[in-house]
Structure 1
Amino acid sequence: MTDVEVPAVVDPVLAAVFPDREVAAAGDAGPSWNDDNRTVGVEFADGERAYCKVAVDGDPSRAARECGVLAYVDANAVVPTPAVLASATGSAADPPYVVTADVDGTIGWRAWRDADDDERVAFARAVGRTFASVHACRFDAHGRVVDGDANDLDVDPVPWPDLLADQIRWSRDRAGGGRFDDHYDDVLALVDDERDRLRDAPAALCHGDPARPNQFVHAADATDSTSIGDDTGSTSTTDSTDPTSATAERAPTVGLLDWELAHVGDPVRELQRARRQFVDSRYDPGTERHAQAFYDGYRDRAGGLPDGFEDRRRIYDAVTYLGVTGFFERWADDFDTPTDELAAEVADEMDRRLAAAREH
């Protein structure tokens, strides 16, 4: 098809979807800890780009979920998403795949890296607004998203504590054991003990993986005064004495990629997960100022934080920290701190979070 080397698992998909287009370049789309997929970015000879995600494990459920949620979000939420160009999501798909168009914007991790402190405040505020828009999609019950379209999502109802526990076990399988594997048992016990506090949480659409690589950013126009306000374009009144007002007025717009882990769950869990993955990432972390801007952006769009935020957030602070301790071996070597010292630091932090969740 072309002299460019395209990964063998992706090549037949591109040949089927774009039989008459020449691929000029191809390469991995970015970092991923999910070995069940292979995602490749391609650039065609005419300059256009696309992304092809193949389920190398043969499971079509993730592709079906992603396509259904993308259609639903495009029709029902003010959140930029990539357009689906082609997909194979049925039981006969061999392999299952989703091909999406390129998006207009800067990938989140790169936008964060290149931003100064005030720009990071504006970015964080925009991220909060985006997740408030996603969470505005409410349902009658929690559960797994199976499929969907622009009109509705097909949700398999599952009580939220059970779905959360399943997600924790899924993460444990991805982590594959390690120094802190016992933390999964500790957090699962916490979730079981707190079932009564968890089961009546709001049932909101959740993205499921709110990390910087799954965000893309449209920079705000310097003359744009509609960055903050409702979805009709009206603007909020800002106090000129408020040091955040200038950054609020030039908040960018943030879209979301990679919806295959979407589900109907507790928006508080996603807020705290987004804070850890976006603001408190171990890679170039933000500050409390950025965290508060993130929450303020959510309030801008939703009118407040989700019901029960203060009651449940400490539980999720422990749950989300499994993304640090559970995958310790995958990231620890990226830092100059001696491994044992780093391990002691994160172990103490998990102990603190578990204690805080149980004391509340």
Structure 2
Amino acid sequence: MSDSSEALAAGIGAVLGEATGAEVVVDDVRRLTGGASRETWAARTHSDDGERTVVLRRDPPGHGEPARMRAEAACLRAAADAGVPVPRLIAAGDDAPGIDAPYLVTDMVEGEAIARKIQRDEAFAGVRVHLARDMGRVLGLIHRTPTGTLEMLDDRDPVDLIEAIYHDVDYPRPAVETGLRWLRDHRPDRRPNTLVHGDFRMGNLLIDNSGIRGVLDWELAHLGDPIEDLGWLCVRAWRFGQSAPVAGIGSREDLLDGYRDITGDRPDPDELHWWEVFGTLRWLVLSRFQAFRHLGGGEHSLELAAVGRRVCESEYDLLLALDLLDDISHDPEVRAEDSRVHDRPALTEVLDLVSETLRTDVLGALPSERGREKYLLKICLNLLGMVDREIGSGADQVAVTDGLTALGFADEVSLAQAIRAGDVDPATADVRHAMSAAVLARLRVANPRHVVASRNR
């Protein structure tokens, strides 16, 4: 282990020893993939009770938020008492030597969290049949959790909150302004507050061939309308390219049936749709906020930077959910390859060669235990692909400019401000065409496969 890993291992051993009253030795720690806002580590421990693996979640050192970590620990305790399948909390604290940030330590729960494996692998074929209904049942348990020990959780209006984050980022977009207007105009009656997980989706659930083994990542938990969690689970981003509306594996009907099994209540489809639209807009704004953590200089991160180029996926999904997306033909590419100054290989050829080498000779050669490095390398490859596609996006850029000019706007910011002021109706043909052209131009560069994958509503 490196010096930093040894210090972290010693820190984990110390806090576990204090929590359990036994001497605990940690001889291996490894960082797990994912987690743009918090770090997740697995640690192998030894004590008089034997060997086991625990999981450490901590804020990035130097960027700690103790109150939020304390709230997450409280949610784990309350949810466990209510019968929600969650990892057992062993220790939590605001700081500790070697850990150097707010943290919590839980038992390791066995199960698969990678959405694409759960959606596609034969090993999960049996559980996929009832998984959407299982999700509804687990959400019912969460929403029935007593909240007497959770008074520290945020209970602000979710639309007000997401709008405030959007304004703080100060990056006006027509699709966001359109979504905010629709949410205000169509809002259903608000239900009494319950515990809301806030990020219940594939990736934060551990699943085996029997069902849901663990609900993870409670850092966004709050008090609010319970249907928010159901709508979030239906957001297109969490389908990962599959067509089934609930997490890419099931139907909304099964989800609602499972929820009724536990709560006795079956939400109306229109209510669920409102929260699905809200969830799509929420992910759009949170993605932009995450990117600005890097772009604003607050936290240097390849992962956060890459998220900035994925915002257009949520813009596309939002217009699709609101039935405001126009189909716009893709003109032939205009590529900047015919250079009379530089020798070959041309710029796009260089990018292709570098990507191919990294994918085959570097990524393929990394052993399975280098999971973090493989994850970061895949992000780099995706970014190189975006650069390559942007070089050939001249026709799309012209279409965006032409659409805005026809409306009398110099840029998207001006159009967004006009929608906010109520001077422009986003449902009119010319406006929806201009919005669609801009979103599709970005999406064809960032992730062209998303356009095809999203045709199924």
TM bucket, shorter chain: 0.5 to 0.7
Q: Compared with structure 1, are the counterparts of its residues 186 and 130 closer, same or farther at alpha carbon in structure 2 (3 Å cutoff)? A: same
The one-letter amino acid paired with 2:11 is: V
> Which protein is richer in strand relative to its size?
1
Measure the CA separation in 2 of the matches of 1:277 and 1:17. 40
Residue 27 of structure 1: aligned partner: 30
Measure the CA separation in 2 of the matches of 1:25 and 1:171. 41
Measure the CA separation in 1 of the matches of 2:90 and 2:261. 33
Query: Do the aligned partners of 1:315 and 1:354 also contact (CA within 8 Å) in 2?
Result: no
- Alpha-carbon deviations, 1:119-143, whole Å to 9, x = none? 312222211211111112366xxxx
Residue 165 of structure 1: aligned partner: 160
Measure the CA separation in 2 of the matches of 1:15 and 1:22. 5
Measure the CA separation in 1 of the matches of 2:236 and 2:3. 33
Measure the CA separation in 1 of the matches of 2:155 and 2:130. 36
Q: Any idea what SS the aligned residue of 1:261 has?
A: coil
Q: TM-score, normalised by structure 1?
A: 0.66
The one-letter amino acid paired with 1:63 is: M
- Alpha-carbon deviations, 1:208-235, whole Å to 9, x = none? 1112221123543xxxxxxxxxxxxxxx
Query: Do the aligned partners of 1:4 and 1:24 also contact (CA within 8 Å) in 2?
Result: no
- Equivalent position to 2:130, from 122, 128, 135: 122
Q: 1:179-258, aligned counterparts within 5 Å?
A: 181-194=173-186, 197-198=188-189, 200-220=190-210, 252-258=211-217
- Equivalent position to 2:103, from 92, 97, 102: 97
Q: Any idea what SS the aligned residue of 1:48 has?
A: strand
Query: Do the aligned partners of 2:176 and 2:315 also contact (CA within 8 Å) in 1?
Result: no
- Alpha-carbon deviations, 1:54-94, whole Å to 9, x = none? 2231211221111111111122x22111111111148xx96
Unmatched runs of 5 consecutive residues or more in structure 1: 140-150, 221-251
Q: 1:296-307, aligned counterparts within 5 Å?
A: 296-306=257-267
Residue 227 of structure 2: aligned partner: 268
Measure the CA separation in 1 of the matches of 2:217 and 2:15. 20
Q: Compared with structure 1, are the counterparts of its residues 65 and 9 closer, same or farther at alpha carbon in structure 2 (3 Å cutoff)? A: farther
Kindly, what percent of the aligned residue pairs are identical? 23
Measure the CA separation in 2 of the matches of 1:4 and 1:48. 22
Q: Any idea what SS the aligned residue of 1:321 has?
A: helix
Query: Do the aligned partners of 2:78 and 2:146 also contact (CA within 8 Å) in 1?
Result: no
Q: Compared with structure 1, are the counterparts of its residues 86 and 304 closer, same or farther at alpha carbon in structure 2 (3 Å cutoff)? A: same
The one-letter amino acid paired with 2:113 is: I
Q: CA deviation at 1:113?
A: 4.4
Measure the CA separation in 1 of the matches of 2:35 and 2:178. 26
The one-letter amino acid paired with 1:165 is: D
Computed over aligned residues only, the root mean square deviation of the Cα atoms, in angstroms, reads: 4.0
Q: TM-score, normalised by structure 2?
A: 0.53
Query: Do the aligned partners of 1:137 and 1:204 also contact (CA within 8 Å) in 2?
Result: yes
Task: Return the structure number with greater relative CO, CA threshold 8 A, min gap 6.
Answer: 1
The one-letter amino acid paired with 2:14 is: A
Residue 254 of structure 2: aligned partner: 293
Measure the CA separation in 2 of the matches of 1:254 and 1:286. 22
- Equivalent position to 2:54, from 37, 44, 50: 50
Q: CA deviation at 1:52?
A: 1.1
The one-letter amino acid paired with 1:64 is: R
Measure the CA separation in 2 of the matches of 1:10 and 1:183. 44
Once the two structures are overlaid, the 10-residue window that deviates more, 117-126 or 102-111, is 102-111
Q: CA deviation at 1:169?
A: 4.7
The one-letter amino acid paired with 1:130 is: V
Measure the CA separation in 1 of the matches of 2:159 and 2:31. 30
- How many corresponding residue pairs? 293
Measure the CA separation in 2 of the matches of 1:138 and 1:101. 23
Q: CA deviation at 1:165?
A: 2.8
